[in-house]
Homo-oligomer: A and B are copies of this chain.
Amino acid sequence: MSTGFVVWLTGLPASGKTSIANCAASILKERGYKVEMLDGDEVRRWLSPEAGFTREDRRRHLIRVAHVARLLARNDVIVFCSFVSPYIDVRREVRSIVEKDVPFIEVYVKCSLGECIRRDPKGLYRKALKGEIKNFTGLTDPYEPPPNPEITLDSENFSAEFNAKKLINWLNEKGLLNLKI
């Protein structure tokens, strides 16, 4: 059986998904685990360069990501997927693809819209509020929080480091990692 699995971080733009994933990934790499990060911005460039941000574009893109993550994880890689992935039904579809082969851990990175707008590290909310970006999740497009995520991380009140450690402890307790902490 593979030792890999897929950690899927979902949350509003600028909620801190990628920071948490990067932090957790680097801790696990140091401990000798094989880790890959599939991140919204970077992966789109090669996987779905032609895709926009309509509901169907997002869906098609995330289904591809799910297959790539599954292939990696069934070969003993821990895969962190950091995507807004705003729709419950698409995340369910993603889960069903991944779970054919390996465990799927949905992580809800929870941060209020107000705080995300305040942080806005890439200036995307600012642009969207000016009407320069269409289909922007949280403003002009819906975000559907997971009703039953495996774990919720509060990124409004806690640091990425704290949340990464919380996530790793959770994975360890569930037997997905084999760390002595």
Contact = CB atoms under 8 A, between A and B. Distances in A.
Interface of A: 34, 36, 46-47, 49-50, 60, 63-64, 67-68, 71-72, 75-77
Contacts of A77: 75
6 contacts: A36-B71, A46-B64, A68-B68, A68-B71, A71-B72, A75-B77
Interface of A is mostly: helix
A60 B76 CA distance: 28
Contacts of A46: 63-64, 67
Given A46-B64, A49-B60, 7 more contacts: A34-B75, A46-B63, A47-B64, A47-B67, A68-B71, A72-B72, A76-B76
A71 B63 CA distance: 17
A63 B47 CA distance: 8
A75 B75 CA distance: 8
Contacts of A63: 46
Contact of A76 (B47, B50, B71, B75): B75
Nearest to A70: B46
Nearest to A63: B46
Contacts of A60: 49-50
A157 to B, nearest CB: 34
Contacts of A47: 64, 67
A67 B53 CA distance: 22
A34 B34 CA distance: 14
Nearest to A43: B67
Nearest to A2: B34
A77 B2 CA distance: 13
A97 to B, nearest CB: 8
